[in-house]
Structure 1
């Protein structure tokens, strides 16, 4: 015995579908905003190193190395 989909079913289905799409859009916006704010906060907490990094130079000796070994 088959059942038919009544107009009441389609009405409830459409209402639930609209609610689900709306909740998905709202939750996506909320979580995106929250994660963006968290990212900005974490990036602003990092110390900004503005001093240029120079390579380590070996100590200079007063004598020259011989070209003949």
Structure 2
């Protein structure tokens, strides 16, 4: 059985997918979330272990529920 990618990697891929679907550049998305662009880049690469507050910021910026954000993660 193939090992699933680490949850941080899966979450980062999900954020990148949703961000691009909504037409945000990484820089504009980070600004809208009130996060640093390099931090958002780290999230998308699976390098950051986010706090719940930052996960909530991302969901709010994308205008989706936390449950929707976590789908397929």
TM-score bucket of the superposed structures, by smaller chain: under 0.3
Choose between structure 1 and 2 for higher RCO, CA contacts under 8 A separated by at least 6 residues: 2
Of structures 1 and 2, the larger Rg is shown by 1
